[in-house]
């Protein structure tokens, strides 16, 4: 039902209505119009909204617009990305791929390091008779549980933590291996010094093994004719034959003041080795002088308690006499060495 200003019902109650400022709403087919009765003009006039109503309308409009905008933005954020987001997403993906490549390279580095470790323990240290480095020392930890806390809270936290931890472990093992090689280098240097210092040659040039007149052990003394311990090896040679230092060292003594040895030279080679060369006719070195293997230190003779021209040669290891033949390892063939061993073992008479 539609009512207008001229409707009989409205006119019927006009006398009652005009005495109260009551608002009526009249609808037509086009719009909703709000009217208010003006008692001064006795007319219904379009109602003017109050300030509060206007603010309410504005607030409602803004709220509706904001809600709609929020929905639109949420949908756009969910299904569409900004150019900046696309760029950042690509950068993150590139970083992730780089980390994966880094992990593969670390696997290769770990494999190489594992091979170096095996060679270090099983080959290099075995050559120098050194104990291998324990595995728990090589793979010791590098930090506490909070060491990687800085990587927590990210989408790729586990990848970051795992990669960093492997890098730290690899760095630790490389440090241990580097120190191991420093030790091996020092051992190699000392081994080289040892090989140069070891009395490894005969003190005279021997053209025939028969020049070894007597060897190490109990022999018949040429003067006293009793069995006595012979602490060296005797080499027969004409007077004036060169006598050579059998290893690098320092001359400890060169005189004729030791009973029975006549003119003789003692050399300290280090590493527990000393050598003695006795019955010389002439000494060519002085105490404190450094000598090298093969250097002439004197000439053979017949001084001291001796029955013929020869060179009495002794080797001492840590203060105890040892068989010099055991150290004739340079410049002779295996066949020559075998003959020398057989001749030196013959319990013949000594020259001193």
Which tens digits make up the pLDDT trace of 249-279?
A: 999 999 988 888 999 999 999 989 999 999 9
Same domain, 90 and 170: yes
Out of 162, 197, 232, a domain closes at: 197
Q: Is 0.85 topped by the overall pTM?
A: no
Domain of residue 162 covers: 83-197
Question: 150 with 160: CB under 8 angstroms?
Answer: no
More confident residue, 344 or 265: 265
State percent of the chain over pLDDT 90: 20
Same domain, 216 and 340: yes
| Burial classification of residue 36, based on how many CB atoms lie within 10 Å of its CB (0-12 exposed, 13-18 middle, 19 or more buried) | middle
State percent of the chain over pLDDT 70: 72
Q: What is the pLDDT of residues 291-311, one digit of tens each?
A: 999 999 999 999 988 888 989
Same domain, 190 and 314: no
> What average pLDDT does the chain have?
77
Beta bridge partners of 314: 232, 276
Average pLDDT over residues 124-152: 69
Question: 313 with 338: CB under 8 angstroms?
Answer: no
pLDDT at 22: 44
Same domain, 150 and 221: no
The total number of structural domains that make up the chain: 3
C-alpha to C-alpha distance for 108 and 170, rounded to whole angstroms: 11
Average pLDDT over residues 121-135: 76
Confidence band, pLDDT 50/70/90 cuts, at residue 151: low
Rounded to 5°, the CA angle 192-124-181 comes to 80
Please report which helix (H) or strand (E) contains residue 191, including its range.
helix 157-197
Out of 176, 197, 218, a domain closes at: 197
Question: 125 with 132: CB under 8 angstroms?
Answer: yes
Whether pLDDT at 229 is above 50: yes
More confident residue, 139 or 251: 251
C-alpha to C-alpha distance for 99 and 279, rounded to whole angstroms: 77
> Of the given ranges (12-26, 197-211, 285-299), which has the lowest mean pLDDT?
12-26
- The SS3 call for residue 350 is coil
Same domain, 73 and 88: no
Out of 59, 77, 95, a domain closes at: 77
pLDDT at 3: 42
Average pLDDT over residues 63-81: 79
Same domain, 273 and 178: no
Helix 157-197 vs helix 83-119: angle between axes, to the nearest 10 degrees?
30
Same domain, 214 and 309: yes
Whether pLDDT at 7 is above 70: no
pLDDT at 284: 97
Question: 243 with 277: CB under 8 angstroms?
Answer: yes
* Structure-block tokens of residue 198: 């070891």
Closest CA to 219 of 335, 323, 78, 300: 323
Confidence band, pLDDT 50/70/90 cuts, at residue 6: very low
Q: Is residue 203, in this structure, part of any structural domain at all?
A: no
Q: Is residue 202, in this structure, part of any structural domain at all?
A: no
Tell me the CATH number at 302. 2.70.70.10
């Amino acid at each position: 039902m539609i009512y207008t200003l001229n409707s009989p019902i409205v006119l019927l109650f006009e006398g009652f209505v005009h005495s109260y400022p009551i608002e009526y709403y009249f609808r037509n087919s086009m719009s909703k119009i709000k009217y208010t009765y003006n008692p001064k003009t006795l007319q219904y006039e379009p109602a003017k909204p109050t300030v509060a109503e206007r603010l309410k309308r504005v607030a409602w409009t803004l709220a509706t617009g904001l809600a709609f905008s929020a929905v639109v933005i949420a949908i756009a954020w969910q299904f569409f990305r900004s150019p900046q987001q696309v760029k950042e997403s690509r950068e993150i993906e590139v970083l992730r791929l780089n980390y994966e490549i880094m992990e593969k390279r670390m696997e290769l580095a770990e494999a190489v390091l594992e091979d170096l470790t095996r060679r270090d323990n099983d080959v290099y240290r075995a050559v120098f008779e050194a104990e291998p480095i324990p595995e728990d020392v090589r793979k010791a930890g590098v930090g506490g549980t909070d060491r990687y806390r800085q990587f927590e809270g990210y989408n790729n936290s586990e990848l970051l933590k795992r990669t960093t931890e492997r890098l730290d472990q690899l760095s630790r093992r490389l440090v241990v291996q580097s120190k191991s090689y420093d030790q091996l280098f020092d051992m190699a240097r000392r081994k080289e010094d040892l090989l140069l210092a070891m009395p490894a040659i005969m003190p005279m040039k021997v053209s025939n093994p028969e020049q070894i007149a007597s060897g190490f052990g109990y022999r018949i003394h040429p003067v006293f004719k009793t069995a006595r311990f012979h602490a060296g090896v005797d080499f027969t040679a004409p007077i004036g034959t060169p006598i050579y230092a059998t290893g690098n060292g320092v001359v400890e003594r060169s005189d004729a003041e030791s009973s029975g040895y006549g003119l003789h030279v003692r050399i300290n080679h280090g590493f527990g080795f000393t050598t003695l060369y006795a019955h010389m006719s002439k000494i060519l070195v002085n105490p404190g002088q450094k000598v090298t293997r093969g250097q002439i230190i004197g000439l053979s003779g017949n001084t001291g308690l001796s029955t013929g021209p020869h060179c009495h040669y002794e080797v001492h290891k840590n203060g105890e006499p040892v068989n010099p033949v055991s150290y004739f390892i340079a410049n002779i063939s295996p066949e020559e060495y075998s003959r020398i061993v057989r001749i030196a073992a013959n319990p013949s008479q000594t020259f001193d």
